[in-house]
Amino acid sequence: MTADGHRALDVGDLTLVARGAAILGTGGGGDPYVGRLMAEQALRDHGPVSLVALEDVPDDATVFPVAMMGAPTVMVEKLPTSDQFVGAVRMLSTYLGRPVTHLACAEAGGINSMIPIIAAAQLGLPLVDADLMGRAFPELQMVLPTLAGIPGTPMSIADEKGNCGILQTVDNRWSERLSRVMTIEMGCSAIISNVVMDGATMRANAVGGTLGLCHRLGAAIEAARSAKRPPVEAVVRTLCGRVVLGAAKVVDVERRTSTGFARREATLVPLAAGPDTDERLVLHFQNEHLLATRHLDGDSRVEVTTPDLIIVLDAETGEPITTEGLRFGQRVSVVAAPCDERWHSPAGIELVGPRYFGYDTDPVRAVPDRELTNA
């Protein structure tokens, strides 16, 4: 516990939180290893971060989400500087003329659950145990506050070279369009702060307990390994999801960085498939996995789509694998899990459903595996 009575987030928590965040990130949200190393250093330098439950955020708080924007593939090689995190928050605070009282995660994702921890440690501010999606999505306007008409701007954006700016746009889609161009010019990754809310608005339009869930997911995998139980099943139980494809081999990955995103698809073949079958599962992604299609004997069937979660795990260890980490020959399992129910509203489907991304299909939900989730 910290001096203010809230839970303390310390170095020892970060391995579990980063692992769980990469699971909820559905392949996106940035490299969890890089983010964890940076967060560990920040906590060693500045001490633990106070983690505040969403329901405990005061009405008059001023909450600043902070995140990395851009292509995860670029983030592996082009690391942000520590000045970017603090600079993005302080610049926006100065522009708004409002002091920051709390920081928050914009999304659940490998590095995007770590960046707010870094900023909170550097600024000595509490961090809200919540995020604005309950998972990761590729575009800036894809947050629950958009469904409530809450503006995403003013927003700040900063790169590692010292370039920075403030955007004020007519709506959240325009904030995505304009900031994406800036991010590409900044080298396809930048640090942003946006969707500033008071405490009451944050409580109504965020997903509570995100970092706590990340910690539980990381701990569930570790406990399963220690007990020599399948870690993938531990993830399914924790998320009330199901296994879409058990042990499988990655046989093809087509990937390119285009318009500021890591795009395309990966093809998986079940390890148990016989020599005469052509069964395969194709994962379509744009930073995050958005659609899983099973192909067998000339037929195809959509198994699950955005906005529900499509998660790729190492088949033996249960470690999450990001879209930029997918490689030929990997042995993986694919898990589907339900999203926050607000994403299945008509406005939510219009904003993040499969048709928005160009897939000609209605949403297909992740139906829980009752045998596993009720065990």
Lowest mean pLDDT among 21-25, 67-71, 94-98: 67-71
pLDDT of 16 above 90:
yes
pLDDT of 274 above 70:
no
| Mean pLDDT across 340-352 | 98
How crowded is the C-beta side of 365, counted as CA atoms within 13 Å? 12
Residue keyed to tokens 């070279």: 161
Contact 305, 359 (CB under 8 A): yes
| Mean pLDDT across 281-305 | 92
- Please return the burial class of 331, using the count of CB atoms within 10 Å of its CB with bins 0-12, 13-18 and 19+: middle
Give me the pLDDT at residue 28, please.
83
pLDDT of 289 above 70:
yes
How crowded is the C-beta side of 21, counted as CA atoms within 13 Å? 33
Give me the pLDDT at residue 144, please.
98
DSSP 354: G
pLDDT of 295 above 70:
yes
Grouping H, G, I as helix, E, B as strand and the rest as coil, residue 337 is strand
Element (H, E) at 291: strand 288-296
pLDDT band at 78, cuts 50/70/90?
confident
Give me the pLDDT at residue 216, please.
97
pLDDT of 261 above 50:
no
- Per-chain mean pLDDT for the chain: 91
Give me the pLDDT at residue 75, please.
66
Fold of 7-210: CV3147-like fold (3.40.1610)
Assigned token pair, 54: 């969403």
Taking residue 97's Cβ as centre, other Cβ atoms within 10 Å add up to 6
Residue 179 CA, chain-centre distance (Å), reads: 19
pLDDT band at 33, cuts 50/70/90?
confident
pLDDT of 65 above 50:
yes
Give me the pLDDT at residue 157, please.
97
Percent of the chain with pLDDT over 90: 77
pLDDT of 21 above 80:
yes
**Residue 110's closest CA among 190, 214, 194, 258?**
214
Lowest mean pLDDT among 133-147, 272-286, 303-317: 272-286
| Mean pLDDT across 343-358 | 96
Taking residue 19's Cβ as centre, other Cβ atoms within 10 Å add up to 24
Lowest mean pLDDT among 54-63, 95-104, 250-259, 345-354: 250-259
Lowest mean pLDDT among 176-185, 271-280, 300-309: 271-280
pLDDT of 262 above 60:
no
The class that CATH gives domain 230-373 is: mainly beta
| Mean pLDDT across 2-18 | 84
What is the residue extent of each domain of the chain? 7-210, 230-373
Q: What digits encode the pLDDT tens for the residues 203-253?
A: 999 999 999 999 999 999 999 999 999 999 999 999 999 999 999 999 999
pLDDT band at 301, cuts 50/70/90?
very high
Give me the pLDDT at residue 297, please.
80
Give me the pLDDT at residue 260, please.
46
In single-letter form, the type of residue at position 321 comes to: I
Contact 139, 112 (CB under 8 A): no
pLDDT of 277 above 90:
no
pLDDT of 355 above 60:
yes
Give me the pLDDT at residue 42, please.
95
Give me the pLDDT at residue 307, please.
98
Contact 199, 57 (CB under 8 A): yes
Alpha helices in 252-345 (DSSP H): none
Q: What does the longest C-alpha to C-alpha distance in the chain come to? A: 67
pLDDT of 116 above 90:
yes
pTM: 0.93
Residue keyed to tokens 């700040």: 156
Q: What digits encode the pLDDT tens for the residues 303-336?
A: 999 999 999 999 999 999 988 889 999 999 999 9
